[in-house]
Structure 1
Amino acid sequence: MTPPSNPINLNDPATRDALHARLRFYRDLGIGEFYRREVDSALWAQPNPQSEPQPAPAQTQATPPAPPEQLFPQLNQEIDIAPRKPFPAAPAQAEPVPPEQHFAALKLIREEIGDCTRCALAKGRNKLVFGDGDPNAKLMFVGEGPGADEDASGLPFVGRGGQLLNNMIGAMGLKREEVYIANVVKCRPPNNRTPEPDEAHTCSPFLFRQIDVVRPKVIVALGQTAVTYLTGEKRPLSAWRGTVHPFRVGAKLIVTYHPAFLLRDPNQKKHAWADLQIAMRELGLTSPARK
């Protein structure tokens, strides 16, 4: 095989960041996991019914090409193409906590996490980002993980994506202080990459405990990573959006795009607003009158 004239240098941090950003973009569109799926080679061997049958070639059948992970070993390091492993079961639902004890119960969870070193994300962390908002909120937002601004402040969604989320909350007729916000992982992944499965599985039990304490009526999953680790199911985002899904503690799960994705593709904001309107109907909210 003739190598490309300008091969991609996967050792270059800028190139890796660009590739990760592109994968996140496709993932948030709901088509992100295509590179992990095995293809049935028999499908490619079936004849096309619209074409005339072709005589078999006289020469010996060529050796099938090597799989991608052999042709591009570097790609195998950057993108996990190993067979999928089953998701661990979500922790058992905890007993309800009286509303007046929600704040104290969340504080105990934070104290148990402590100065966490349970996964590799702790190595590059500045501040652990636990959660923020009303411990008795009826609406909870779950994102992917902290970014640079969140890592510096210790609060979720305070950067540009957080400003957009605040606007989304305001459009629903609520204030940020009236909802609860958390992430799948509580430490910033390097270069804002998607959390690795072992990182997310290590941290998500604390998220489930937060959910069990707050007991929101509606949970809005922001993006593919959030819904994947909340449900333990790998499906495109398009398969989740537009529908109300039953969830633990009697909550309703609604899925929409992550604010960071909406900043990259503002044309999708109208679709995100349609998702939020579903949440509003479940909560009995009406949009505030525009001045």
Structure 2
Amino acid sequence: MTAQLRSPPADAELQLTEADFARIARIAKAGWGLSLDSAKRPLIRSRLGRRLKALNLASFDPYCEIIESGDTVECDHFITALTTNVTHFYREAHHFELLESEVLPGLIARARKGQRVRLWSAGCSSGQEPYSLAGSILALAKDAASLDLRILATDVDPTVLVTAEGGRYEAQSCVFPSPALEARLFNKPSTPPEAFRTIRPELQPLIAFRRLNLMQPWPFSGRFDVILCRNVAIYFDKPTQTRLWTRFSEALNDGGSLLIGHSERITAPAEHALEAVGITAYRKTGLLPTTAPR
């Protein structure tokens, strides 16, 4: 790491040149698949500027050198700064309604026959999605923890995974579409209300939280029955999205479900293997073309 001798500039003086931004964008794309919009330059300058200040650096050039060197600690800060984690419990409730009415009953029946059932929350952020999924499962099967039925929850950002694993949230962020859904995940608020609320303990054994960069090899061989990857692909360019849809299709069991974000769309070649069954909800019904990109 090469530290500069002069003091870092004040935030108002810190310059993110076009060359700096282009370099940061190349690093983000190569390492994490992120496609950075030039409109986000002020936000990136502000967020990464805090890292320059923490490292006593006067410009973005030496900071990029640190990231390019593969410094694991600073790379963690880098990806945290570049990603925005917006989520809430039972977000896009229509997906959970579809799962509870058409998908989960069959999977639970299979699990009760001794079969393996796996669900994947890819891009789980601070945990609201996998905990919501676990709440839906327990609402249908109180014995779920005794079955071979588990949720894998992954994210590239180590900071949000700490929150997810802890299952502890600011009370003001615990907003639900209905009181019934809230009761699945939390006990009744205390009186007077506390600043934080903790997920009900029976949900956590169903979930394994792991760090995973979707652009790298996936360290598992078994297939999934449900994959949720919602509002993640919007941060990738079209070719990267196409490869991701292909890999998800390959990772699904026949008849498995893929749920994506409200502004995302499956494209060829994955669309040939996935049938739309609801709003941004798909079921695997066939094989991918042999020329599908990897």
TM-score (norm 2): 0.29
* Higher RCO by CA contacts (8 Å cutoff, separation 6 or greater): 1
Structure with higher strand content: 2
* Structure (1 or 2) with the larger CA radius of gyration: 1
